[in-house]
Amino acid sequence: MTRRPRVLVTEHLGEDGLAALRAAVDVEAHDLLPLEELAGKLGSFDAVIIRSAHRMTRELLEAGPDLRVVARAGAGVDNIDLDAATARGVLVLNTPGANAEAAAEHTFALLLSLVRHVRIADRHVRGGGWDRQAFIGTELRGKTLGIIGIGRVGREVARIARGFGMHTFAYDPYVAEEAVRARGATKLETLEDLLERAEILTIHTPKTGPRLGREDLAKLPQGAFVLNVARGGLIDEDALQELCDSGHLAGASLDVFSTEPPTDQALLSRDDMVFTCHLGGSTEEAMSSIGTRIAQAVVRALAGEIPEEAVNLPFPNLDGVEPSHLLQVGAALGRVVAATGGEGPQLHVACRGGIPDEAAPIALRAVLAGLLERVVDGPVNPVNAGLRAQEAGLGVRIAIEAGGPPRLSAWFSGQEERQVEITVEDAPRIRRMAGGRFDLRLPRHLLITQHKDLPGVVGRVGTLLGGAGVNIATLELDREIVGGRALMALGLDEAPSSELLRELRGLGELEQIFAVAANGERAEAAE
């Protein structure tokens, strides 16, 4: 009986997320697992889901030898050692955009608190004061809003800004002008153009976004306001203070800091700034949505699919080609090449027919994973296959060719006659392998023989297989001339044992035998 995967949840995920997990896997869930207990637990789990309180370091990843998936219930992966996870073949998932509405609303909560002096007016009233003139604010209507980064959160900020009657401009070199316009903003081509216009500036980029220092912030108009509800460190906090002191900036609101929690008391004591403790995505609705989405992604990943939440495995939006299916076919191709295609310092992979260009990285990783299973020590899968190929000194060339049905081919340099070709269909078929041509539906287990074309050979092979209780599902033959070299490809329902393979090798007519777990478990033995 197949063991159900086990998933460790280290922080509060929400009942909907836990229910999605429990329907498919065994779960150990904690509202907040003590940090000192994490390493000791990882050894028995296939996946772990974290939020922000835990960091998945190289050491922790090594403490979980069975880990296949590390998932962050949130937008970033700053607290996951991505290089170490990739090297170990661990798929990393996150949920970008699941809290976009919450982060956008929080941006305006901070902005309104800032421009209407909500925090200090609240403190004033609690202290018995009633000086209305001291807290005259600024309206948002008619103001120019500058957004750096108009992805999921930036788009929601632009949408809300329309309701306030603001003029919205955006700088994002990765989004086309038409797309920015569709999101309710006007695209500016340079960051400098945006800074010079923005009466209110907000940034919504990943940690790789632009860093705004004193020189950048000084380009803002006199009396501008600045917000950061994205990533700590994107805005120089010392420069903010300096420009507020000089009167060039009217104030700032920060939900994230370069050091969290912040320790700069001069910063924290300012009345012209509003702070919150990384609350951008912290709503009941967002937490529930994130929990459910990451749970579903983990279940799909453990089932062998590529969820769109994957971080360290490319996930293009493919028209007509299912990425998980492409992974399956590519891995099968790599296994057959490893068994029948010889060897060499460079592997050629061809994506032919209707396979789109953007699918090539997935196809290549899958082929390498299947090829290297028997070659390298340690786990190898599409996540770390590229790294493992480099470590093994294997060069790779990939080509994309038009014409014919979608299919993948692979061969080693100088051995194109031994290339393997499999169609990428709902029911993939092997078209070429071991120097022969076939039309064989991709079996779970594949046995290939090269022998002299003599009467009785096929029958003797079948007799040995039948005697061992191995059922032949499909059989195809290819020969050059009568009495010459012949190839036989058999699709088997079970993997042949080492003993059975030895018996087959004992048949004098068989020159070569290849056993391949083409679409299933690794074959027990092969030659």
**Residues involved in catalysis:** 231, 260, 278
Query: Sheet of 69-72: strands edge to edge?
Result: 26-29, 6-9, 47-50, 69-72, 91-93
Sign of CA dihedral 460, 466, 470, 472: positive
**Residue type at position 160:** I
| Distance, CA of 407 to CA of 423 (rounded, Å) | 4
CA distance 237 to 105: 23
Rounded to 10°, the helix 360-372/323-340 angle is 40
Contact residues for 318 (Cβ-Cβ < 8 A; gap 6+) = 326, 356, 358, 359
CA dihedral (130, 136, 137, 139) positive or negative: positive
User: Are the CB atoms for 105 and 158 separated by under 8 Å?
Assistant: no
- Rounded Cα distance, 440 and 438, in Å: 6
- Side chain identity at residue 431, one-letter code: R
Name the strand (E) or helix (H) holding 133.
none
Please report, in angstroms and rounded to a whole number, the separation of the first and last CA atoms in the chain.
30
Q: By three-state DSSP, how is residue 6 classified?
A: strand
Where do runs of H (alpha helix) occur along 269-422?
284-302, 323-340, 360-372, 385-391
Strand partners, 8: 28, 48
Cα(107)–Cα(321) distance, rounded to whole angstroms? 39
Nearest to 347 by CA among 379, 313, 392, 314: 392
Q: E strands within 153-216?
A: 167-171, 186-187, 200-203
In the numeric block, which tokens belong to residue 164? 């306030």
Q: Residue 481: CA atoms inside 13 Å, Cβ hemisphere, count?
A: 1
Please count the CA atoms within 13 angstroms of the CA of 324 that sit on its side-chain side.
10
**CA separation (Å) from 195 to 135, 412, 430, 459?**
27, 54, 58, 80
φ and ψ of 323, to 5 deg: -55, -40
